[in-house]
Chain A
Amino acid sequence: MFDVEPIIADHKDVIHDVVFDYYGRRMATCSSDQTVKIWDEDGQGKWNVTSSWKAHSGSIWRVSWAHPEFGQVVATCSFDRTASVWEEVIGEKVSSTNTPTRRWVRRTTLVDSRTSVTDVEFAPKYLGLLLATASADGIIRIYEAPDIMNLSQWPVQHEISNKLPLSCLSWNTSTYMVTQLLAAGSDEAATPTGKVFLFAYSENSRKCVKIDTVNDITDPVTDVAFAPNAGRTFHMLAVASKDLYIVNLRGVTDATDISKLDIQTIKFSEHNCPVWRVCWNMLATMLISTGDDGCVRLWRMNYNRQWRCAAVLKAEGSGPTYEPAPPTPTLATTASATAKFYKKGTIGNQVPWH
């Protein structure tokens, strides 16, 4: 059970990311109008914008909350080749009745990338205050704040180069059999190779290296999300691509005592269009995916431990619905102008998905 709550976000351009904070009481949105908005939930569960500021000089792709142990800190990344870290400070109290004004101050700007920074994500808390960025030239950079009281210093700890441009990344929250597990996806469309990469910290070379590639996903990837792992022996990774994928990663040890990952990929084609965003609930029992058809789909695991599409949320204004006079009586169905996406030239017999 959950509360579906439509929110009219007054961003002037396309919204690219929505993120909750650790407690679920604050929400951050970023948009192509170059602003970041912080939403707070009041006592009646209504969301109000409490802060809005121009954060970058280009489209802001992603926003990420740090753990509240480090204060109210968010990170943003943008097309203007920078990623910024912001911290909330309490302003002066203008009168005794009003609450003090809150202001977000830029603590640092990370300018190492020479192309668009496509994703930014804080690491899990057990790694300290760590920040990973992915850029369009295929480089992943991991920054660390050595002093959490001074957020202006973020030296680069690791820099991993890839051949393909990267579009998204996700941290794994579990330390089972591998530490600092990181997944990245590429939205490159030309080459038919695997587009999901896995990185981990290597004790031998004392740096983050690429450990595996999910070769079953060869379409451009728009989002990856690790499921919150509270103690399972396998990791689940949701991949948004031309279809929706769930990848089960299980650590196995072969005869030579080398730890490697057993990858199992499950594919779902219900969206019939590119999937844009995926996110999990806090115990990884529900997956939410949004696609280009304007629908939000909720996936649940049934009693046979198989994922099923349990609900579809669809905006009413996606197209005018009417019943024109059919050319033949056998085609008396309600038509819908909902768009579908076909990138390839050949279109077979498409089954209606509503």
Chain B
Amino acid sequence: MSGNTHGLSWFPHFPDKFVSWGQEIHLYEVRRKDDHSQKSRLPYISVNYLANESRYQYARCVAASYHSDQPIIAVGLADGKVGICNFRDTYDSSWEYTPRQQRMCTCLAWNELDANILAIGHDRHRNDTCITIWDIERGVPKETANFFGVGESANSICWDRNHRTVIAGMSQKMIKLFDLRQSNATCQSIQTKTVQGLSVSPNGNYLCSYVDSVITLWDPRNIKSPLRQIQSSKNHLQIAWCPTRTSLLSSLQRDSSYITLYDIRSVDTDNSGEIYHVKRQISPFPARYQHSGKFSFVNCLSWHSRDFERALLLADALNILDFRLPATLHTAHSNRRKLPLLMQRPLYTPASPTSTAATPTQQQPTSSCSTNSGSSLDFSTPGGSPFNVDLLKPELFELDLVDETRQRALEDYGIKPDNKRFGELHLTPYLRNVWSTLNNVYSEDRLTGLKATLGINLGHTSEALMASSRIESQVLQWPEGINNSNKLICYRSEQRDLALQLCGWAFEQELDRFIDQLYANKEYSRAAMICVFHLKIFHACNILSSAADNMRDPSMYRITVIALSSFNADRCSSTWRNQRSSANMQIHDPHLRAVFSFLTMEKDNFDAVLKEEGVSLSDRMAFACKYLSETKLADYVAQQIQAAIDGGDLNGLLLTGESQDGIDILQSYMDTSFDVQTVALVAINYFRQELFEDKRIQYWIASYLDHLNSWGLWEKRAELDIKIESIRPSSRSSRTVFLSCNFCGKSVSNALLDEPRPRSTTTSTNRLSSCPSCRKPLPRCSLCLMHMGTMVNMSNGETPTTTPDVPGWQTKPFSKWFSWCQTCRHGGHTEHIMQWFKQNSECPVSSCNCRCFDMDGTKPNTLRDIS
């Protein structure tokens, strides 16, 4: 096609056909998605060219009709002639209407109810009418009843919802309604300047019109005054309602590249409702259209009558695009990995056309859920999902903290901390190592850190005590065959021996057994490293030689054995050091790197060993306790504590123990990993009462308990509560929840607990059923009508109580407790209440219709049997 296009329009009853007009009128059909037969005539939309009409050129306005059998358009020309065209070669003179006075045809509107009726609007002539109602089956209109508006001009025209009233904007100053149901059509008019673009919304509630930059909304049933005026910054070109929405008004503005959408709504009140709108602006151009970089304008828009929010666009008076409003997705995230995506369903279900001549494209959504290969992501979507899942970084989904936290909670994480138990949990090696370290350091119900054990920075008393503890410094001899001129000074004291033990290193006499244990755990390089640190280099060679036999890739170990066997510090020191510095880039095992760093040290400088981050902190601390002096050891401990606080490394608890620094380490780990579970459980298991009262620890524990509540893991939460109470028996605080009398408001719990053993049944009944201070009766069970505190089985002589005490609750099962509903405040013995609600759903009190049991939000599937 050549030349500019002035407009385009879908056909209402042909879902794939549309017409465009300019110099000529062209009929197109949109192809199906699988149709690639030939090249499309339009560059941005896949269409089939069907026909053209060359008799009418430079049409001023074109309207597609509501006929179902064939596509028919009405064409209005500049000289006022109106022609009916069905894109066939046959010519019918009765389908052409020429007004008496020659002037421009301004607007056309087909009647949707009667497809043969066309409303024609013309410009002004002094002696002629401007509105003509044409029934194309009766030939050219001649009756005077079909002509309106003498001496006026029609700016826009449309039909009312019932398609019996013509609404026209006339003479730039009024809107008139012509009711055609009467023989002499009545006319109702309203004065306004907004006379352009008249149309009625699909729900029939609003009539819209515009002039320049103002849109006015009217009530078609009561057009006395406008409902609302919408002002915009630019002048409007075209306004149109979206047929598939109830009241979505679209607007094209002059020299604009986007579509403005007004969602019109109203408030239902008793008198006239208030109108409001939600405004959106959308650029309809796909990314490919923007590649040229030029600035594009939207000239014309035509909404599809059935496809939800689908439109044709005319851009730059040249290009036609198929456009659909983006689907609105709503989602929220729950604590159960649910991600529901709520889509707005179309209001009109696409009805299949009755005509067999039409071939609509059945656009069926295809289910495409693409996942990158190799990803362990669980994107389980139900069948027929119309969603595309585009995974940009699938590795970020491999480890979800919410799932991990819930899984660990179900596996009793932190309830019974011991090494065997942690081996069964799905923990990261980091956390497994942390818990093992904490288990080693925990002794005598205290998490004593190395800082406290070594007595660093503990004041004058500790310094005096430390001075008297006789720190021994001993110059060690290098093994025979290794001529190292450097002196190796080893430090020993009671505190250092204890610190070595806390780090997991055994005493000197138990070293062989410790090394064998490491060998059995396949920690070959670590065993070799510890042997070298204890100057048993030949023992390390034997370990690595044996390990190389068991490994699949023994080259690294064998090279290390060869290097260690031929090590001689004095003769090859400089050569060794140069080779080591270059080889450290390629040695992957951090323990082997530490071995070579130790053997090539210079003048008591152990920084290369101490800064080896791959070696665990406990091993590095043990090494420091063995070979650093007091001042260097204190500095090293302080540095490591600060590094642990900065980096959120839980291994720093080995140094700090339970202290303020330990809480800082937990807080830093919390800030880094968001893992409140581990932080709370470490505090519960290892922190004593004075530090346990820190508000940060209390907040972590409260948050974790709240997470268990939200998952409904009541039993896990109860076990944790029991654990918190059991490991701190001396810190029992006063009771904060007690039973109070209805009349005097004083507590009756203590009286019930401290009641002495009754001697006879009568005395027990009388004494326990009343308040000890005011002697008024206590509440009764709704079913057995016994007072609170009375025994369910009167024969046994157990001490009565209604609230559990730690030693007493075991003698009184849960079924004999007293419970009540918090909504209606009726209740009774738990055994009786549960029995009642197994068969009934309402409150046992006769006049109360409360459904006490249904109020429980958790709704257990089956009523669990009570003791």
Contact = CB atoms under 8 A, between A and B. Distances in A.
A314 B390 contact: yes
A174 B438 CA distance: 29
Contact of B246 (A6, A10, A13, A300): A13
A252 interface: no
Contacts of B674: 230, 232, 283-285
A71 B855 CA distance: 8
A231 B331 contact: no
B319 to A, nearest CB: 11
Interface stretch (A17-25, A191-199, A207-215): A17-25
Interface in B504-532: none
Given A32-B265, A231-B676, A4 B385 contact: yes
Given A3-B337, A282-B707, A341-B282, A8 B343 contact: yes
B485 interface: no
Interface centre among B45, B267, B282, B340 (most CB of A within 10 A): B340
Interface string A165-202: 00000000011100000000000000000000000000
A340 B344 CA distance: 19
Category for how many chain B residues contact A: 35 or more
A57 B324 contact: no
Given A57-B269, A324-B45, A5 B284 contact: no
B838 interface: no
A61 B498 CA distance: 65
Contact of B341 (A6, A12, A308): A6
B368 interface: yes
A343 B46 CA distance: 29
A74 B381 CA distance: 29
Interface stretch (B21-29, B182-190, B288-296, B812-820): B288-296
Contacts, number: 344
A339 B331 CA distance: 20
B44 interface: yes
B407 to A, nearest CB: 11
Contacts of A315: 326-327, 329, 343, 386-388
Contacts of A312: 388-390, 392
Contact of A231 (B287, B700, B858): B700
A53 B400 CA distance: 37
Contact of B710 (A14, A282, A338): A282
A311 B332 contact: no
B337 to A, nearest CB: 4
A336 B43 CA distance: 14
A316 interface: yes
A302 interface: yes
B172 to A, nearest CB: 30
Interface stretch (A104-112, A154-162, A254-262, A290-298): A290-298
B221 to A, nearest CB: 20
A1 B381 contact: no
Contacts of B40: 324-325
A100 B268 contact: no
Contact of B377 (A1, A5, A282): A1
Contact of B344 (A9, A72, A234, A301): A9
Nearest to A102: B854
Contacts of A327: 43
Contacts of B343: 6-9, 315
Contacts of B710: 22-24, 282
B430 interface: no
B699 A231 contact: yes
A2 B667 CA distance: 28
B836 interface: no
Interface of A: 1-20, 22-25, 27, 29, 32, 34, 41, 45, 47, 57-59, 68, 71-72, 79-80, 90, 92-93, 100, 116, 149, 174-176, 230-234, 277, 279-286, 288, 290, 292-296, 300-302, 305, 308-325, 327, 331, 333, 335-343, 347, 349-350, 352-354
16 contacts: A6-B381, A8-B342, A8-B345, A13-B246, A23-B857, A27-B332, A47-B340, A57-B267, A58-B266, A230-B703, A283-B674, A288-B332, A301-B396, A314-B387, A339-B326, A354-B287
Given A79-B267, A230-B700, A337-B323, 20 more contacts: A7-B342, A23-B711, A90-B854, A90-B855, A149-B823, A230-B707, A231-B699, A231-B700, A232-B674, A233-B670, A290-B331, A294-B327, A302-B393, A314-B388, A315-B343, A317-B324, A331-B291, A337-B324, A339-B326, A350-B290
